[in-house]
Amino acid sequence: MAKPKNFICGLRIYRYKGWMFEVRPTSGPWPLKKNGSLRKRASMAFYKIFLEWSNLESLQREEYRVGRGCR
């Protein structure tokens, strides 16, 4: 019997310098609480750290990935 060829995709979650955040292809990054739920607001401090992370090479950014994405 052939194995099904399905992909399960979710938002990629990263942890960098004390911040946990998800990156959405349509609306960009958003910070998460420790329990994984969305924060109500994204502060300038978050965007400063996100900019630092986004300036890393793509392979370096993947080192900080802690969950999800396509499998």
- Express each pLDDT in 50-60 by its tens digit: 999 999 999 99
* Alpha-carbon distances, residue 2 vs 5, 43, 53 (angstroms): 9, 49, 41
Q: Where residue 6 falls among pLDDT bands split at 50, 70, 90?
A: low
Q: What is the pLDDT of residue 26?
A: 84
Residue 36 pLDDT > 80: yes
More confident residue, 40 or 24: 40
Residue 71 pLDDT > 60: no
Q: What is the pLDDT of residue 67?
A: 80
61, with CB counted inside 10 A (0-12, 13-18, 19+), is middle
pTM score of the predicted model: 0.79
